[in-house]
Amino acid sequence: MVRLDDLQVLVQAAEQGSLSAAARELDITPAVASVAIKRLEAELGLRLLVRSTRSLRLTSEGAHYLQHAKAALNSLQQGQIALAQGRQQIAGELALSMPSDLGRNLLLGWLDELMAQYPALRLRLRVSDRLSDLFRQPVDIAIRYGVPEDSSLVALPLAADNKRCLVASPAYLARFGEPKTPNDLKDHNCLRFVLGERLFEQWPFGNETVKVTGNRISDDAECVRRWALNGEGIAYKSAIDVRADIEAGRLKVLLSAWPTELCPLYLVCPHRLSITPAVVALKDFLSERLRR
């Protein structure tokens, strides 16, 4: 394979008329420059330069190849410039993964507003409660609850103080009554959520944790929310997910005197280089909406 630094030596040698001058321009030694030309000639199988102790000239093949070398280096330079400019613009495609409940009921509308602000932005959504592999799947960033277990990921806080809350519909409470203490949940139908192989059946309330049971389990948080709205049981949900339902009276918060666990929301990236202007705009936009 032809090396780019070898092409640079060839171009500089032709422009400077001297291998030593080319080496000084590229901040390498003359010996390194000489090896680069020899390596390039060996790769191409032809002589590019005719050299003596005092002069240097291109062969006819070298003069012909020089134009292609210049074009290749110029094309790469233009590509670098285009990438640099692109990183300063809120444009291009953003592949985003987000939870089902939060995504469908809240973020989807907000993302429409964001794209109206930035018409050059394109969006590819992955809506699922299954955690996306940011290193293997075609996902640039993910919106997730909880601190990532993988410490190599970069987590940008969106709602660091968000908590979970216990909720049920007025219809369920009319039939089965309202729990007065966390321990009373053992006598209620609790709607449980499963993520991967983990079943969330231990519901914490401060220093107390209650193992709950029920007749419904789902790996989709939106299903759990709908079951709660339909009066099928009690759910332990992120406050963000059910805020609109609570304000509209569709769900009621239970055991509000007991502390519940934190459920921080993060924007997760595989590395710092993933934080483009578009990602920063998304983070600032969502953070502002969530503060409201």
For residues 178 and 92, what is the distance between their CA atoms, to the nearest angstrom? Answer: 50
Q: Contact 68/61 with Cβ under 8 angstroms?
A: no
Listed range (31-40, 111-120, 147-156) with the worst mean pLDDT:
147-156
Q: Please report the pLDDT score of residue 186 as a whole number.
A: 94
Fold classified for 164-254: D-Maltodextrin-Binding Protein; domain 2 (3.40.190)
Q: How confident is the model at residue 16 (pLDDT cuts 50, 70, 90)?
A: confident
CATH superfamily to which 92-151+277-291 belongs: Periplasmic binding protein-like II (3.40.190.10)
Place of tokens 């075609």: 138
pLDDT value for 133? 67
Q: What percent of the chain has pLDDT over 70?
A: 93
Q: What is the pLDDT of residue 86?
A: 52
* Rounded-to-integer distance, Cα 69 and Cα 72, Å: 5
Nearest Cα residue to 234 out of 168, 184, 172: 168
For residues 82 and 113, the model is more confident at 113
Per-residue model confidence (pLDDT) at position 56: 84
pLDDT of residue 272: 80
User: Taking the domains of the chain in order of start, what are their residue ranges?
Assistant: 4-87, 92-151+277-291, 164-254
- Residue ranges in the chain assigned as alpha helix (H): 4-16, 19-26, 30-44, 60-87, 100-102, 108-117, 170-176, 221-229, 239-247, 277-291
pLDDT tens string 228-264: 999 999 999 999 999 999 999 999 999 999 999 999 9
Mean pLDDT score, 202-220 = 94
> Is the backbone of residue 17 left (phi > 0), alpha (psi -120 to 50) or beta?
left
Q: Considering only CA atoms, which of 220, 214, 171 is closest in space to residue 194?
A: 220
How high is the pLDDT of residue 84?
59
| Model confidence band, residue 21 (pLDDT cutoffs 50, 70, 90) | confident
Instruction: Please tell me the predicted confidence (pLDDT) of residue 82.
Output: 64
The CATH architecture to which 4-87 belongs is: Orthogonal Bundle (1.10)
- Identical fold between 4-87 and 92-151+277-291: no
Residue 143 near residue 266, CB atoms below 8 Å: yes
